Amino acid sequence: MQISVAETVGVEQRGSYYDKAGALRDMVPNHIMQLISLTAMEPPVSFRADAVRDEQGKILHAIQPLSSEDVLSKTVRGQYGDGTVGGKRVPAYRSEDDVPPDTRTETFVAMKLQIDNWRWADVPFYLRTGKCLPAHNTHIVIQFRRAPFVLFRDTPVENLMPNQLILHIQPEEGISLQFAAKVPGPAMRLGAVDMNFEYSDYFGQQPSTGYERLLHDCMIGDATLFQRADMVEAGWCVVSPVLDVWKALPPRHFPNYAAGTWGPKEADDLMEHDGRHWRNFEK
């Protein structure tokens, strides 16, 4: 499972706030934990607010806490330097307004988490979020397990690509299914196939920021889309050990990625160590 929340903007006029928060506090305990719980939760017994949030809470409480050693090997932090985003030059984070020139605040986070329950045992959850990345999008990539019996066992196994279900959250909302299909002909060759669905193609464009729905739910008293106190606490239980280790061991190589790139090399290494790679969507 991969969850990416990518932003092309820097800190804009929020330098004084952002430097006290950082990417981990700003995004992971709230936005990303919501995405994890909504993706991994079991079906609720109804659409009542507490029925939905009960299942979300079970997922958040089942996330394995990271030990100090885990933080060193399963988390990555980064800070952007100067670069180019969308054809425009972008200053380094340390050159932004109201940001100290020697700040150690992170603008990028990548993590590997595990969920301790029957459905998700041994399934790694990789997450990342960052500023001044090449694209503005939020997506979830669900990679299916390889079949236990390979029917085409006379073909090279390494050529069999895993199927992936991609949930596009924003800015384009939709679902993609990627799978392998045999290329027509006598030779056994496989090609990647993408089946794409976008809400705008079928239901038209409905301009909104997303806050309209939340404001409406507030007015009618529907708490389904809002985090409950126990969910907030569970999210911070995951984040707090990381903050403690990062505070004790300040980064030595900031900035460590150029604006307009997909974060520091260590984030790629986190995936490649497990024989995987990030799915990057540029549009």
Residue of 187, 198, 195 lying closest to 165 (CA atoms): 195
Distances in Å between the Cα of 120 and the Cα atoms of 113, 154, 229 are 11, 31, 24
Residue of 251, 270, 269, 281 lying closest to 78 (CA atoms): 251
Active site residues: 31
